[in-house]
Amino acid sequence: MSFRLNFAFPWAYISVGDALSFNDYKKEDTSINSNILRSDVTNTFDIMATKAVGDIFPIFDPKKSLFMNFSYEKVISEANIINYDYIADSFSLSFSKSFHLNK
């Protein structure tokens, strides 16, 4: 189950989402000495911002076809096996270039 909102502001494109997943495994986890069937609940929250580099530095990208993406993700995993209980934060910075094949 997930929910996402996308905002197209004049200064940036912002996407915010939250997802919840439930996983029940049918086989025992062989990495530990247990007969317990693993069961997880995971909540993932993320936010992403996209901006054309040409909006900030018009000299480098006058056509505004180079995009800068920044994202943050927080994962909270709760499991009945303690090895799979964790909270993780991740950040990402990437660049993408758009081009047309028919021009």
Q: What confidence score (pLDDT) does residue 103 get?
A: 74
| pLDDT tens digits for range 51-99 | 999 999 999 889 889 999 999 999 999 998 888 899 999 999 999 998 8
The residue to which tokens 């996209």 are assigned: 50
| pLDDT tens digits for range 25-52 | 888 877 776 788 888 999 999 999 999 9
Beta carbons within 8 Å of 100's beta carbon, 6+ residues apart: none
Rounded Cα gap, residues 38 and 80, in angstroms: 6
Q: What confidence score (pLDDT) does residue 27 get?
A: 83
- Domain map (residue ranges) of the chain: 2-25+36-97
pTM of the model: 0.79
Beta carbons within 8 Å of 4's beta carbon, 6+ residues apart: 15, 16, 17, 18
Q: What confidence score (pLDDT) does residue 83 get?
A: 86
